[in-house]
Structure 1
Amino acid sequence: MKKILDRTKGDRWIWLIVILLSILSLMAIYSSTGTIAYKNDKSAEQYLVKHLVMIVGGLALMYFSHLLDYRYYAGISKVLMVITIPLLLYTLIFGNHVNDASRWVTIPVINQTFQTSDLAKLALITFLARTLTRKQENIKDVNKAFIPIMGSVCIVFILIALANLSTALMLFGVSILLLIVGRISIRQILIVCLAGMVLLTGVILLGSRRQTYISRVQAFIHPEKADPDKSFQANQSKIAIATGGILGKGPGNSTQRNFLPHPYSDFVFAVIVEEWGLVGGLVLVLLYLVFLYRCVLIVTHSPKAFGALLAAGLSFSLTIQAFANMAVAVGLGPVTGVPLPLVSMGGTSILFTSVAFGIILSVSRDIEEKKGLDVPEKKPAAGNRNKIIVGEIPAMG
């Protein structure tokens, strides 16, 4: 154990945030799985143990991911993209259908399902960070830089959006932020946004889930006119939050967990606020804000463009997802199926999220090691595109 702790590097605040989120997750999942355990003739402890195994597995993946030099993820991103696009296609055609959506595939032998969009998020962000870094000398060139970047973003967006529009929109937003950070011209970014709007319109009008999207938006805009079944989840979530008060009902005392369809995943934030009150909700919000702040520091101190873009993209993705989940719970957005990172009960989603945290910590570890050596960075040669200093890219404000 001492050897593991000695080799644990990177931002200590992020490690602390991960541990706190994991502990909070275990308490919330144990409390919110009573109803589903009863329906499935199981005990809540069985779900807790399963979730604990995934948390421990995620921490292990995060540890090994942070030990790997983040530069290796540039090469890994190419492999991930080659795997991701066919896998997304396979999921759409042969994946497990739940609520008219095909988002999951079953892993042979272990019989464990996983959501392919989780892998796609990791693949696209790392690939964009790599491409933007390598194409800096030709960043304004349409054929050499813009088309490959736009193509990867639009292909992944449409393949995810057909089954999971909310995740696709968030990933598209993160991609746009990375393009801005990566010095893509405003005109080209507007073209990407226009292409995204065209694809989005096509998904809504021609996709098999168009009625679901339209009904959710209508229920959000006009809840008084909505079908009670369509607004049921949102209403139960609001009741949970409203009855939580300042200090909450206490751990394990949630009542709305018996009515919310997914109190352990999509609406786990509502259960946390009901049991821990406004104070517990604010603490959770603060943890994600501190995480984002620490990532901003990592981005601004990273000596290489790839590390800065990698940390920026992954941190944007995680925090946007977190606040999207909490916004839905408090009624600030239409209902989506977006989980709360490291808190919602999940299988492989926890593992992919943990890898994302580990990659950010790998960038942070590299910064620490360079500071420890106290050796000034040499300015790269003009022809070396892989060693562009962050000063050449306005990574963050």
Structure 2
Amino acid sequence: MDDIKKIWHFLTRYIDSLLLIGLLTLMAVGLIVLYSATGANMTRVSNQVINMLIALVIMWLVANIPLQQIMRLALPMYILGLVLLVGVALFGEINNGARRWLNIGVTRIQPSELMKIAIPLMMAWYFDKHEITLRLKDYIGATVLLLLPVLLILRQPDLGTAILIASSGFYVLFLAGLSWRIIAGLLVAVAGSLPVFWTIMHDYQRRRIIMLLDPSQDPLGAGYHTIQSSIAIGSGGIVGKGWQNGTQTQLDFLPEQSTDFIFAVFSEEFGLMGNTVLLLLYLLVIGRCLVITANASTQFTRLIAGSITLTFCTYIFVNMGMVSGILPIVGVPLPLISYGGTSMVTMLLGFGILMSIQTHPKLVKT
């Protein structure tokens, strides 16, 4: 019995139990919906279970790393990410007109996923180093650190990932105390430059925005995703049609139903009440993350915890928004629910950092 207790203590000593329960509950919901979305395809479900187990192991490993070690990884991880992004630009594989993957021999990797964690880490490390003498030039330097990978990702092109990475970096700038006047000025500048962005956007990107306004212009083409997902969400009603009884899903009208549009599957089968429960689960996880952020004792831990939490919120909002037809389709998965290994690993890696922040208080300077 004592040996079992020692093993249990070893496995859980740096794990935040409340956060873990929330994550596991959402992942269980994801498996239930995935089973229906794939037509009871146990191979896909089994693959997702493997993805989850790998991600949980990585989360556990990261949670056991003291914050000082994580800080030391910020700069090397950022440089590695930049080098890989340059490698993608020069030697990356082209798939559906986009160059996003890099073949490293044994497997293919998508370096932009690494930057979702590397950018907040690097910017938090940068501000921590300049905490005492923080000036406007430091914010400009941090912005340059952010723009370099974002521009490389836009070149692939991958607008959705670029927006998410840019938002994660902006959250660090905001939490580091960027002036509201500067933020307002940036928003005005972005709004004023929208006509320029429109001219340099790819045709398919412009079509997505046009279809957001009126998907009926091309109901069997660019507007198909929005129309079918809206039908699925609306047909779910208050209580839904029941598990595995969604007609849009089971009759294969709904596109990408196991990945980007899995929220439409959930909405059709479990309705408004199911969506309310799902949002409450997300809010419980977000609430725990905010508590960890509030308890962070250094500039670095506060910035990285806050950025990871707000980026998680952004993922949820963007996915639900695009599936509901209030945002353009940008190919963002629903966190912890959508099928996929890369996004699952990235998410749980971030939560592993949050757990390290929560469970290593004595190792963080105050």
Fold match (TM-score > 0.5): yes
Any gaps of 5 or more consecutive residues in structure 2?
Answer: none
Q: How far has the Cα of 1:196 moved from its partner? A: 6.8
Task: Give the counterpart of 1:131 among 117, 126, 132.
Answer: 126
Q: How far has the Cα of 1:102 moved from its partner? A: 2.1
Q: How far has the Cα of 1:20 moved from its partner? A: 0.6
Q: Which amino acid aligns with 1:18?
A: L
Q: Which amino acid aligns with 1:177?
A: Y
Decide whether aligned partners of structure 1 residues 166 and 133 sit closer, same or farther in structure 2, where only a CA change above 3 A counts.
same
Question: How many Å separate the matches in 1 of 2:21 and 2:200?
Answer: 45
The aligned residue for residue 327 of structure 2 is 333
> Aligned pair 1:105/2:102, yes or no?
yes
Decide whether aligned partners of structure 1 residues 267 and 5 sit closer, same or farther in structure 2, where only a CA change above 3 A counts.
farther
Q: How far has the Cα of 1:317 moved from its partner? A: 1.1
2:338 match: secondary structure = coil
Question: How many Å separate the matches in 1 of 2:125 and 2:193?
Answer: 25
Question: How many Å separate the matches in 1 of 2:132 and 2:164?
Answer: 29
The aligned residue for residue 312 of structure 1 is 306
Q: How far has the Cα of 1:191 moved from its partner? A: 7.1
Any gaps of 5 or more consecutive residues in structure 1?
Answer: 35-42, 371-385, 390-397
Give the share of equivalent positions with the same residue, in percent: 29
Pick which of 156-165 and 118-127 moved more: 156-165
The aligned residue for residue 357 of structure 2 is 363
The aligned residue for residue 61 of structure 1 is 58
Decide whether aligned partners of structure 1 residues 2 and 102 sit closer, same or farther in structure 2, where only a CA change above 3 A counts.
farther
Question: How many Å separate the matches in 2 of 1:225 and 1:342?
Answer: 33
The aligned residue for residue 19 of structure 2 is 14
1:282 match: secondary structure = helix
Q: How far has the Cα of 1:359 moved from its partner? A: 0.6
Q: How far has the Cα of 1:141 moved from its partner? A: 5.0
Decide whether aligned partners of structure 1 residues 336 and 156 sit closer, same or farther in structure 2, where only a CA change above 3 A counts.
same
> Aligned pair 1:149/2:142, yes or no?
yes
Q: How far has the Cα of 1:99 moved from its partner? A: 3.0
Decide whether aligned partners of structure 1 residues 317 and 99 sit closer, same or farther in structure 2, where only a CA change above 3 A counts.
same
Pick which of 307-316 and 178-187 moved more: 178-187
Q: Does the Cα contact within 8 Å between 1:175 and 1:313 map onto a contact in 2?
A: yes
Decide whether aligned partners of structure 1 residues 268 and 129 sit closer, same or farther in structure 2, where only a CA change above 3 A counts.
same
Q: How far has the Cα of 1:167 moved from its partner? A: 2.1
2:336 match: secondary structure = coil
Q: How far has the Cα of 1:148 moved from its partner? A: 2.7
Pick which of 16-25 and 282-291 moved more: 282-291
Deviations, residues 35-92 of structure 1 (Å, cap 9, x unaligned): xxxxxxxx81111111111111111111111111123211111111111112112223
Alignment RMSD, CA only? 2.5
The aligned residue for residue 215 of structure 1 is 207
Q: Does the Cα contact within 8 Å between 1:150 and 1:192 map onto a contact in 2?
A: no
With normalisation by structure 1, the TM-score equals: 0.83
Decide whether aligned partners of structure 1 residues 30 and 206 sit closer, same or farther in structure 2, where only a CA change above 3 A counts.
same
Pick which of 332-341 and 184-193 moved more: 184-193
Question: How many Å separate the matches in 2 of 1:198 and 1:108?
Answer: 45
Q: Does the Cα contact within 8 Å between 1:26 and 1:48 map onto a contact in 2?
A: yes
Q: Does the Cα contact within 8 Å between 1:25 and 1:343 map onto a contact in 2?
A: yes
Pick which of 211-220 and 281-290 moved more: 281-290
Q: Does the Cα contact within 8 Å between 2:23 and 2:285 map onto a contact in 1?
A: no
The aligned residue for residue 44 of structure 1 is 41
Task: Give the counterpart of 1:351 among 333, 337, 345.
Answer: 345
Q: Which amino acid aligns with 2:110?
A: Q
> Aligned pair 1:27/2:21, yes or no?
no
The aligned residue for residue 152 of structure 2 is 159
**How many pairs align?**
358
Q: Does the Cα contact within 8 Å between 1:204 and 1:213 map onto a contact in 2?
A: no
Deviations, residues 359-381 of structure 1 (Å, cap 9, x unaligned): 111111124x68xxxxxxxxxxx
Q: How far has the Cα of 1:337 moved from its partner? A: 0.4
Q: Does the Cα contact within 8 Å between 1:133 and 1:182 map onto a contact in 2?
A: no
Q: Which amino acid aligns with 1:126?
A: L
With normalisation by structure 2, the TM-score equals: 0.89
1:137 match: secondary structure = coil
Q: How far has the Cα of 1:130 moved from its partner? A: 0.8
Q: How far has the Cα of 1:195 moved from its partner? A: 8.0
Decide whether aligned partners of structure 1 residues 351 and 195 sit closer, same or farther in structure 2, where only a CA change above 3 A counts.
farther
Decide whether aligned partners of structure 1 residues 236 and 297 sit closer, same or farther in structure 2, where only a CA change above 3 A counts.
same
